[in-house]
Amino acid sequence: MSHDDFAFEPIKGLPETPPEGEHILWQGRPDWWALSVEALSLPWVAGYFIVLALWRFLTLIDQMPLIGALAAASPLLVMGAVVCAMLALVGFVQARATVYTITNRRVAMRIGAALTVTLNLPFTQLASADLKPGKRGTGSIALDLLGETRLSYLVCWPHVRPWVMRRTQPTLRCIPEAAKVAQILAEAAETRIATPQITRAITAQQIAAE
């Protein structure tokens, strides 16, 4: 029997049913391999262990036969393969637990594998959105927040703009067709901000009459 860890969500990726007039324009999640490469620095980790193995091989090659030097260096390659596999698994789990949602009023980010949180970012609180194209057709969209709004870098990681810690910028990381998604976001935000918000003011006379 299958089990859905997020069965409590009335709508996938959202903590509650959207209010009347709000509808979903796009939903997606990170590409797990791109997330592992960019956010978890998979190539750098692999390169580190390769350099260590090469260094050990070169320091031993003049002290023992070729086979012996290769055997002495191979444990570092095995260790590196194990570490890279673990990082790829973390990237896969993080991507599977994430749902990014763009509605006609906000951006919602359900993030976190162990500790799941949902960020609700109304368009009226966004100062800008910056698109950074990536590889394999993916890209990231960083959201700069207005005013004194502050988010924890560690809580949001890896769904943040790297190394921007003073004013954490939540980011739709490594999403497929990022340029298309950025266009959807830009059009929705522009429409929302340009639409006048009409509220009903209740006067003291009306309250007394009721």
* Residues 40, 43, 46: CA angle, nearest 5 degrees: 105
Q: Which residue in the block uniquely carries the two structure tokens 């970012």? A: 121
Residue pLDDT tens, the chain, 210 long: 333 444 456 788 888 888 888 999 999 999 999 999 999 999 999 999 999 999 998 888 888 788 888 888 899 999 999 999 999 999 999 999 999 999 999 999 999 887 889 999 999 899 899 999 987 789 999 999 987 778 889 989 999 999 898 889 999 999 999 999 999 999 998 887 765 554 444 444 443 444
Please enumerate in sequence order all residues whose Cβ is within 8 A of that of 207, keeping only pairs 6 or more positions apart, or say none: none
Q: Is the pTM of this model over 0.85?
A: no
